[in-house]
Amino acid sequence: MLIAFSGASGRTDASHASLLAAHAATVADGAATLLASERVAVPGSRTGLRHVRFRETASAGEVARAAEACLRGGGPVFVDLPSRHLRAGAVRALLDASVLVVGPHAADEREAAAWRAAHTTPVPTWYLGCRRAGGAPAAARFAAAMALLDPDGPTLPCAVPPLGRGEASGLADGTPGGHALRVALTLLGAVRRATGAPGRNLPPEAREDEARRIGEAADVRSLPERLRDLADDVEAAEAGLKPTADDLAGAPVLDGWSCDAVFAPVLKGRVTGHPGIAEGHRVRTSEVYLTDRATFARTLSRWYVLRTPAGDSAGAVH
């Protein structure tokens, strides 16, 4: 199996997507190869991912020969491919499919559709939405937007969310965290189902359990990563798409459970400049997630400037 990831504009999204798919394949199949230019950071050797590099200025013929060598080595091969080489016959002849990554803005979508229209190839080319939080609803919105621009262009039924700096570094270092690995497994499954590419068609039965175990063991998510996960699940639940049977199959079980309230930090004070509350009214904010306890705070709803601390006087809270 040889799958290429390219971008109509920029290279970062294609690099992240190819790294995600390759790391997932090492979990699903035990080994995989990532073929990328010398500008891409090499994952650590402690993983089962083999990394083969080509010069940034390599010709299409040189890239094709490197890809052939990777295929002879066995296992799935993922290529972080400069878009200029996707048009080359020598490269196209080796591909099972190509994935055109698309950034989060309308301009990215228009550029991708225009690129695909101008560079038709016999190789199936799928759109993949990147830097799009929201899980399945985000993927559905992206598919609808691309269908208006390119009715015949297939779209992968998943979206890659924004990756934090730590997550991206973990990918490059060969140590993807739990969140990134779960994104990777979803992406690989979507690619294989959509393209019909051979493989173990992740994740079936025991492989799914193994992937979940590895993902949970590696889960060192930061607060921003956890909040993004929560936001994705809330949006999917509101759309009627969560929880799935898979979500609950691997979830911890509570017996003898009851609901309880826990303390959550909030701020109280007189507010000015609030878009929905009259000047000078006393308020109680929503939960505080970030503050230096002196000059600023970020609640669930918005930023606040902390000016004068509380004195002896207090009034009714709105």
Q: What is the mean pLDDT of residues 278-291?
A: 88
The answer to whether residue 202 scores a pLDDT higher than 50 is: no
Q: Which amino acid is at 293?
A: R
Q: How far is it, in rounded angstroms, from Cα 11 to Cα 22? A: 16
Alpha-carbon dihedral sign for residues 17, 23, 26, 31: positive
Chain centroid to CA 269: 39
285 with 292: CB under 8 angstroms?
Answer: no
Q: Which amino acid is at 214?
A: I
The answer to whether residue 224 scores a pLDDT higher than 90 is: no
The model's confidence at residue 226, banded by pLDDT at 50, 70 and 90, is confident
Predicted pLDDT of residue 105:
93
Q: What is the mean pLDDT of residues 125-142?
A: 89
99 with 17: CB under 8 angstroms?
Answer: yes
Q: How far is it, in rounded angstroms, from Cα 65 to Cα 82? A: 15
Predicted pLDDT of residue 275:
83
Q: Collect all residues with Cβ–Cβ distance below 8 Å to 186 and sequence separation of at least 6.
A: 158
The pair of structure tokens assigned to 129 is 């939405």
User: Tokens 């993983």 correspond to what residue?
Assistant: 47
Chain centroid to CA 11: 15
Q: What is the mean pLDDT of residues 203-223?
A: 52
- Count of beta carbons in the 10 Å neighbourhood of residue 138: 21
Predicted pLDDT of residue 30:
81
Annotated domain spans of the chain:
2-248, 261-318
Predicted pLDDT of residue 151:
94
Q: How far is it, in rounded angstroms, from Cα 225 to Cα 223? A: 5
Q: What is the mean pLDDT of residues 148-173?
A: 88
- What are 55-76's pLDDT values in tens digits? 988 999 999 999 999 999 888 9
Predicted pLDDT of residue 64:
93
The answer to whether residue 173 scores a pLDDT higher than 50 is: yes
Q: How far is it, in rounded angstroms, from Cα 303 to Cα 318? A: 18
CATH architecture of 2-248: 3-Layer(aba) Sandwich (3.40)
The answer to whether residue 11 scores a pLDDT higher than 60 is: yes
Q: Collect all residues with Cβ–Cβ distance below 8 Å to 102 and sequence separation of at least 6.
A: 7, 8, 13, 108, 109, 112, 127, 128, 129, 130, 142, 146
The answer to whether residue 79 scores a pLDDT higher than 90 is: yes
The model's confidence at residue 243, banded by pLDDT at 50, 70 and 90, is confident
The answer to whether residue 284 scores a pLDDT higher than 80 is: yes
Average pLDDT taken over every residue of the chain: 83
Q: Which amino acid is at 24?
A: A
Q: How far is it, in rounded angstroms, from Cα 204 to Cα 199? A: 11
The pair of structure tokens assigned to 301 is 């709803």
Phi–psi pair at 312, nearest 5 degrees: -85, -20
158 with 127: CB under 8 angstroms?
Answer: no
**Residue whose C-alpha is closest to residue 150's, from 98, 103, 112, 113:** 113
Angle, CA 62 vertex, CA 60 and CA 65 arms, to 5°: 110
Predicted pLDDT of residue 77:
93
Of residues 230 and 51, the one with the higher pLDDT is 51
